[in-house]
Structure 1
């Protein structure tokens, strides 16, 4: 946006800037003489194709949330890099449970031992960060002698000031979930999805 703001400057400002830049370049010791840019036809075509693909991706990427079946603000599937940021407020809390697959022994995780206050706040409402933290916990407890740790989350989230609702299926082992671009069935549905937040 800062670079695009230059479009609104008067034409004379651009010319003065280029003249000063050229003057500075020519006075620099050992600087080669500036030659006008001449593109071969193939180079021009490759440049136009690259720029075309770049701009198409920039235009289409923000609309990828339309490919997901559920409420964007609840699941955050396709939320990043979209144009619909700053339209929601989420608050949540999450309690993780790590289970030893061999003994069945479960232990609750104190998130404060692993995360800062800001990290915990962000993680508790964002599905991808919940999975990342579950993977971290899996690896952390595996190094401490827990056999094939299973990680479960009991998460409650409030969206735009509504009452908190259960966010993650507490029966799903998040340590075995992969965070990719597919829809996330382990996110519980939001009751008011039809209302179109």
Structure 2
């Protein structure tokens, strides 16, 4: 029964159109990073980047290397869009995007993680079977159909993202609109809407609207009577996010997902008028279906499990950030910090203050002042640097953090040498103090 449902063939219009939009957005994201100065600020100006722990070997290319790197990613985006050497282009883009995601955390964004996952998923989807150069060169691959699992995998991934995003908002600072108020303070100067965004009634509307939208949008898109209304809400929601929060391609990528919720006849008539609509419904079970199903369910078990891991780590995730990443915890809090690093010479016990500006960019200073894992990584880097000069040191951190405008509290135990503490991936770090 499961095999018949997964491997039943349906019309592939939604996937074909999505591939074209996806490739175009990959191109825009890549070249946009060049022309907006994102690459310069994030990957060129820093002396080093804060990687995901375990990926320290991934560092930006020297000189203008990262500009060429992103230009090449843009080319792969165009190749994906037109469907030329699709599989190879998709693999190359996925590897390159994943590398840039893992090599820096100063610009961490859940949307970057989503693009990495989607790129990996697109590698295995037969998205070049129609309206592609590949299909024109090799007519034998041309088809109007795809297995139903191709639609299921996109919808299920989207459901996980939105559901966890909604659940994560169910905490006091979001429910009393404190988070939205904090986010909107920086928008006062926006033309026409700056003052409107400061209104408390609107902030409450955005707070509860965000919970309802994230929690209900996928079910409402799946349900035919509410689909059009849900699509209208999606357009308003994502355009608002694009204009107010300026988060690149991702609102438009989110809108592109809605292709998979509408009847394939509608998508075909709107975007692929010359295409024949597939109505066959053939069930074609591949030889290695059991291996496929194991991989499919293993992937989604991991996707469901990762956002839950903070429940098994002591402490408040909003404070310690242990289990925060890869968990769809989007725009949930604002942190400010007053942080001082002290280096202690192990030989004589003397201490001296670290000037962060000598090592870090302004953006990196913000991360190294409030994010525990970045604080630990910077301490390790200082230890390594001084060790190269034959000096054994300890690193002590006086870190006062305010979450969502609340009073400052001590995050790091100032009496513990962070540089000589291990990093526990799935355990609470004892040098992090609890929030009061």
TM-score category, normalised to shorter length: 0.7 to 0.9
Equivalent position of 2:386 in the other structure: 141
Alpha-carbon contact 1:79-1:85 (below 8 Å) kept: no
- The aligned runs of 1:39-118 (5 Å cut-off) are 39-40=286-287, 43-118=288-363
Unaligned stretches of 5+ in structure 2? 1-157, 159-252, 276-283
More helix by share: 2
- The aligned runs of 1:113-192 (5 Å cut-off) are 113-146=358-391, 148-181=392-425, 182-191=427-436
Once the 2 structures are TM-superposed, how far is the Cα of residue 139 of structure 1 from its aligned partner? 1.1
C-alpha spacing 1:55/1:4, structure 2 compared with 1 (3 Å): farther
C-alpha spacing 1:103/1:71, structure 2 compared with 1 (3 Å): same
Unaligned stretches of 5+ in structure 1? 21-36, 192-197
Q: Report the Cα distance in structure 2 between the residues aligned to 1:73 and 1:183, rounded to whole angstroms.
A: 13
Alpha-carbon contact 1:154-1:166 (below 8 Å) kept: yes
Q: Report the Cα distance in structure 2 between the residues aligned to 1:14 and 1:46, rounded to whole angstroms.
A: 32
Alpha-carbon contact 1:76-1:126 (below 8 Å) kept: yes
C-alpha spacing 1:145/1:105, structure 2 compared with 1 (3 Å): farther
RMSD of equivalent CA atoms: 2.4
| Count of residues in Structure 1 that have an aligned counterpart in Structure 2 | 174
Once the 2 structures are TM-superposed, how far is the Cα of residue 14 of structure 1 from its aligned partner? 5.0
Once the 2 structures are TM-superposed, how far is the Cα of residue 102 of structure 1 from its aligned partner? 1.3
More strand by share: 1
SS in 1 for 2:323: coil
Q: Report the Cα distance in structure 2 between the residues aligned to 1:66 and 1:85, rounded to whole angstroms.
A: 17
Q: Which has the larger radius of gyration?
A: 1
SS in 2 for 1:155: strand
Equivalent position of 1:27 in the other structure: none
Once the 2 structures are TM-superposed, how far is the Cα of residue 63 of structure 1 from its aligned partner? 1.2
C-alpha spacing 1:5/1:79, structure 2 compared with 1 (3 Å): same
Once the 2 structures are TM-superposed, how far is the Cα of residue 142 of structure 1 from its aligned partner? 1.9
Match status 1:7 vs 2:260:
yes
Q: Report the Cα distance in structure 2 between the residues aligned to 1:61 and 1:105, rounded to whole angstroms.
A: 43
SS in 2 for 1:154: strand
Residues 57-88 of structure 1: CA deviation (Å, up to 9, x unaligned): 11121111111221111111111122333121
Q: Report the Cα distance in structure 1 between the residues aligned to 2:319 and 2:435, rounded to whole angstroms.
A: 7
C-alpha spacing 1:4/1:138, structure 2 compared with 1 (3 Å): same
TM-score (norm 1): 0.79
Once the 2 structures are TM-superposed, how far is the Cα of residue 50 of structure 1 from its aligned partner? 0.2
Q: Which moved more, 1:62-71 or 1:76-85?
A: 76-85
Q: Report the Cα distance in structure 2 between the residues aligned to 1:129 and 1:142, rounded to whole angstroms.
A: 20
